[in-house]
Each structure stands twice: as structure tokens, then as C-alpha cells.
Amino acid sequence: MASYVALHRSGELRRRAETAVADLASCRVCPRRCGVDRLSRATGKELGFCRTGRYARVASFGPHYGEEAPLVGQGGSGAIFFSRCNLDCVYCQNWDISHQDAGDELGPKEIATIMLRLQRIGCENINLVSPSHVVPQILEALDVAASAGLTLPLVYNTGGYDTVETLKLLDDVVDIYMPDAKYADEDTAANLSGVRDYVAFNRGALREMYRQVGDLLMDTRGVAVRGLLVRHLVLPGGLAGTKEVMDFLAQELLPGTYVNVMNQYRPAGLAGRYTGLDRRPTIRECREAAEAARAAGLYRLDR
């Protein structure tokens, strides 16, 4: 049974949701800490960087079979794609969702209905894609869904730009954390994702996520039920600092950390305007990235 069920029964999940929603009046949900009032769009105040107000915008949802094998199982991962993002990656592989106003604004009951529908059709989990800027709305919807019988594990599928304070609201709520570890260098993060403190916040977030859920655990079918799964996208020319990222994961977390060294980068978004990003990584670069993970001592690599 998912961790959040007990929190719901005790009333703690509702309390956290109410606290998080109230804090939208001066938003500090993510590291950008815009401080804008997201509760009232009638005040004339501008929305923050994520351009998201009181309600989350959902671009699409459904069983997703393209995730890592431990999430997919037989029924697929029940993905809910939230529009917009708190990062500004020039090469974003989901540009239409993160940089445009795809989908519709949905209230907590509507998002809860989606969660329950994904459970009913046999999905293995609820996979929250790009959730960092809508944590209050997720907590609110989850409490409603738990009231109606939702029990699937919750996956927090994030770009990895999260605050420890917000993640603590998700302690015993999220079962599986799936963050990116995009970079080892702050200047690269500033140039490619529009934030000058990505590495510092990312590493703090990874430590907190690991503290909460530990190594990835699977059931007898090989389907994940709890734990941390880290993604790292290999960029051409070594721009992501793969060796340093892998060293951090092995030394600061544990060598048993489950890692997906992803080789599916392709030029997307504005990547064509940036020297070095206008091509896919070579086979050699991808091989060297995987070797860097193994050399760091990491042995649970997604296939």
C-alpha cells in the first residue's frame, strides 16, 4: 500500500495540502522563490516563472510504456504530464509541454479523477511528470483521490530543481523519486537551463530524496514499489559533466543507487542555436558515460 494512505487516514495529508496551498499566496514552492501571489489572478500581479496560478495545467495523461522498466511493469506507468516547468532547458525534449500552454487548468477533484482512472485501467503507479511547480495542487488532489480509494505508488518525476523544504512536505507521500541529475557545473546549468544554482539545489534534493526513500526496491515482478531512481541525460561533448555526476551519486548517496544513464538526447527546442547541442551524442560518448558510472562504483544501471 502506498505511503500516503496512512497520512490521509490520519488527516496529515490534508493538513499538508492546506499549508502548501496557503503558501501559494507568496510562492516559494521551488528554488526560484518568485514570491508572487498564485492564489488570486485578479490582483493584476504577474505570475512567476512557471506561469502557473492557483490550478495546475495538465497537458495529457495515460499509461506510459517508455519509462524505465521498473516503472512500466505490465500495466504501464500512469503518467500525468503537467504543463510548464521551473527550468528553461534550451534543448527540452518535451518543448511543447514545458514551454507552451498545452492542456487545461484542472482543479483537485479533476486531477483526482485522472489518478483514479489510471488505477482503474491497471497502471502500476501514478507518475507525476514535471511536478516541482505544482506540489501544493498535487497534495490537494491526492487527498481527494485517497478518499476515493487510490492506493498506487506515487512517482515524483522531476527535473531535479527542488527545494528541501518542499520535499519535506512529500515525506511519506512520495514512494518513488525519479529526479534528473543534469549537470556537474553551475555555469553550464545557467547557459543551458537558465538557473545559476541548479547543482547546489539538485544535490541537496538528491540527498533529501534518498533520506526519505532509500535505494530502489522492487516486488517479485521487478516493479518498483519504493526508492530513488536517478536519471542523467548524456549531452554531446561531455557538457553534462557525467563523470562528476556519477562520482557524486556513488560517494554522497551509495553505489547501490539505481541510475539511468540516458543516451536518447536529440536536438530539440532551441538546441540548434547552441554550438555543440546541434547533434546527438556519438556511440563512443554514450559508451564512455556508462563506463564512467561503472568506474564510480555504480552497479545498478538501467538497461
Average pLDDT (87-103) is 87
Q: How confident is the model at residue 99 (pLDDT cuts 50, 70, 90)?
A: confident
Instruction: Provide the mean pLDDT of the chain.
Output: 95
Average pLDDT over residues 18-31: 96
| Cα of 2 vs its chain's centroid, Å | 18
The least confident of 200-209, 215-224, 233-242, 269-278 is 269-278
What per-residue confidence (pLDDT) applies to 94?
85
Q: What is the pLDDT of residues 46-72, one digit of tens each?
A: 789 999 999 999 999 999 999 999 999
Which pLDDT score, from 0 to 100, does residue 97 have?
A: 85
Closest among 266, 269, 245 to 257, alpha carbons compared: 245
- Cβ(242)–Cβ(292) under 8 Å? yes
Residue 42 pLDDT more than 70?
A: no
Determine contact, residues 30/163, Cβ cutoff 8 Å: yes
Q: Tell me: pLDDT of 301 over 70.
A: yes
- The average pLDDT across 198-207 equals 98
Q: Quick check: 274 pLDDT over 80?
A: yes
Under a CB-based contact definition with an 8 Å cutoff, are residues 261 and 287 in contact? no
Domain ranges, residue 245: 4-301
Q: How confident is the model at residue 95 (pLDDT cuts 50, 70, 90)?
A: confident
Task: Quote the CA–CA distance of 262 and 236 in Å, as a whole number.
Answer: 12
Looking at residue 41, what is its pLDDT?
Answer: 62
* Residue with the three cell numbers 518542499: 166
Q: How confident is the model at residue 45 (pLDDT cuts 50, 70, 90)?
A: low
Indicate if the alpha-carbon torsion angle 186, 165, 118, 108 is positive or negative. negative
The total of structural domains in the chain comes to 1
When pLDDT is averaged across residues 200-206 and rounded to a whole number, the result is 98
What local confidence, expressed as pLDDT, does residue 93 receive? Answer: 86
pLDDT at 43 over 50: no
Those residues whose C-beta lies under 8 Å from the C-beta of residue 130, and which sit 6 or more positions away, are 81, 82, 83, 84, 85, 94, 97, 98, 157, 158, 159
Give the range among 42-46, 70-74, 81-85 with minimum mean pLDDT.
42-46
User: Which CATH number do you get for residue 120?
Assistant: 3.20.20.70
What is the percent of the chain with per-residue pLDDT over 90, rounded to a whole number? Answer: 90
Per-residue pLDDT tens digits for 116-167: 999 999 999 999 999 999 999 999 999 999 999 999 999 999 999 999 999 9
